[in-house]
């Protein structure tokens, strides 16, 4: 069976951010990432294989939720964007 995503570490930095941020993990598998604002709208999506960078230039300042994985096998992180 596959190792659950919660068994891996995920770092989001810098947090808070103003232009871009990085998601870094010790999981070397390709994992989906979705980023949601507080209104529940998806603002970005992509994938992480060890490390991925995302830009926040077009986002409004505020709090965001990053979901890593899908369905029951998912972890989440909070992100603050300040412009």
Q: What distance in Å separates the CA atoms of residue 64 and residue 72, rounded to the nearest whole number? A: 20
pLDDT confidence bin for 1, thresholds 50/70/90? low
What's the pTM?
0.90
Residue 48's pLDDT is 92
Burial class (CB in 10 A: 0-12, 13-18, 19+), 2: exposed
Q: What distance in Å separates the CA atoms of residue 53 and residue 37, rounded to the nearest whole number? A: 18
List the structure tokens of 20: 């871009």
List the structure tokens of 63: 């709090």
Contact between residue 33 and residue 51 where contact means Cβ atoms under 8 Å apart: no
Q: Which residues pair with 77 in a beta bridge?
A: 66
What's the pLDDT tens digit per position in 31-74?
A: 999 999 999 999 999 999 999 999 999 999 999 999 999 778 89
């Amino acid at each position: 069976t596959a190792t659950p995503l919660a068994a891996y570490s995920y770092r989001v930095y810098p947090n808070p951010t103003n232009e871009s941020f990085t998601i870094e993990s010790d999981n070397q598998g390709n994992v989906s990432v979705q980023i949601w604002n507080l209104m529940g709208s998806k603002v970005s999506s992509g994938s992480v294989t060890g490390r991925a960078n995302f830009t926040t230039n077009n986002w409004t300042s505020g709090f965001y939720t990053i979901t890593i994985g899908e369905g029951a096998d998912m972890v989440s992180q909070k992100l603050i964007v300040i412009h």
